Structure 1
Amino acid sequence: MSSNSEQERERLKEEYKDHYRKIRETKEKLRRSKYVRNVNEALHQMNADQLLENVDEFLGKVRTKMSLIEARLDVAMEHILEQPDDISELDEELKKERARESLKKIKADMGLLYREIEKQAEELHAEKTIGPGTRSESDSTDNKNDSDIA
């Protein structure tokens, strides 16, 4: 009789395993379908014309800033190259210091450009529409109920 009860327990154990596997697979399918739904909703809500206009405006500003920085760099390089080679009063350390200062100035300009780009990106009011930051109350209560089942 003990062998029958052992077999029955093993059979029930396998049934429970199958049941919980199916629950886990169903939860995973639900999670993926919610993700796909969110992506589709975000795509339908996008105003493509306005988005492209904002991106074009943003890129135009970036190009303008980059042109300005490149022009400054060209002027600085011309100034360095135009200096006569026979300057005996300037030693190697002074040249290195000027190069360091020019590099610092260029880096500062690039840093300012980066900050302005970040500021412009914030002004576009880009909002995250997909991911864990956008879960609604119903989603969080569904997950609580799902964990109670398992």
Structure 2
Amino acid sequence: MTTDPNGQEEHSRSSHRRPDGTSDATVLALGVLSEALETVERARGSLYAFHQLTGGADLKLDRALELLRAAGHHAQADLLEREIVGRNVIPGHWTFQIVEAYNSHYYRPFTDIEARLRRELLDGHEHVHEAEMKEARRTHGHPGHTPEP
């Protein structure tokens, strides 16, 4: 952080500044890459939601089994327990294994390469494209359009 003329702390704008000599095409390309990563983050969140929802449904089956047995439907409860409770969601996999495979095979390599390209092409700065868009679209001097938090 830096201090403004009134002695107030402000965030440094250099964390979003385009490195000298960086082209518009490079900034745009890394902006699109960042957007792709944000989409992957959303997909990963959906995968975790799938994991939790499926696991929660499997645990609720215990109550269904209890109620079926209490109603005298032992054969049906046995069928449900044998065929569905604890079943793999895809051959050989519970949802946690799908999440682990996604993380190791796709998510981590994606985030590693995105970070590497930012280091190589933008000195590691994040959201340069977005910061430049904010600067171009804000109304200078308006209190609701300040350049930094």
Give the TM bin, normalised by the shorter chain. Answer: 0.3 to 0.5
Higher-Rg member (1/2): 1
Does 1 or 2 have the higher relative contact order (CA < 8 Å, sep 6+)? 1
More helix as a share of residues = 1
Q: TM-score, normalised by structure 2?
A: 0.35
